[in-house]
Amino acid sequence: MHGAGHEQGRRAGTENVLLAVALGTACSLAQRWTGMPKVQALRDLFWDNLQEIFGDSISLNGHPIERLPNTVNVNFIGRTGADILARLPEVAASTGAACHSGSVMLSPVLAAMGVPTKEGMGAIRFSLGKATTWEDLEIVLDLLYSTVSRAE
């Protein structure tokens, strides 16, 4: 028994049935949403285009197939992800590194995955949603190309 020890320790308390039912309902609704195959296809197309544009200057974090259907986490090798995103205020993405006292450190998660520091410092995570379109991603690709190419 876990909990408050009601009735002189003979029972743990009343489970929150209302929240348990609500969680089950939310899970059922989420399971019925069928938009993930579309999002995953966009994710894969986005990654393919990133590879075409940046070639050996980009690498993927995570498994090439068994990963979240809406996320592309990449490394711009030899670059700093925070610097790239700072030049792209119109792009909502995040880096895999945290800034501390003006220095940028490799994300502990990327380090645990064995991502080399030179690669992981350029990490950027792009998240797609059900409202994401290919046109949105083309804009991001164009902005990345012009920003990263200009920084060379």
Per-residue pLDDT of 94-145, as tens digits, reads 986 555 445 578 888 899 999 999 899 999 999 999 899 999 999 999 999 9
The full set of domain ranges for the chain reads 1-32, 36-150
DSSP 73: E
The residue from 26, 36, 98, 99 that is catalytic is 99
Active site residue 99: yes
Render pLDDT for 4-16 as a digit per residue (tens, 0 to 9): 666 666 666 677 8
Statement: the pTM of the whole predicted model exceeds 0.85: no
Classify 36-150 by CATH class: alpha beta
Nearest 5°: phi and psi at 66? -85, 80
The beta strand positions in 1-152, using DSSP E, are 58-60, 71-76, 94-95, 98-100, 103-105, 123-127
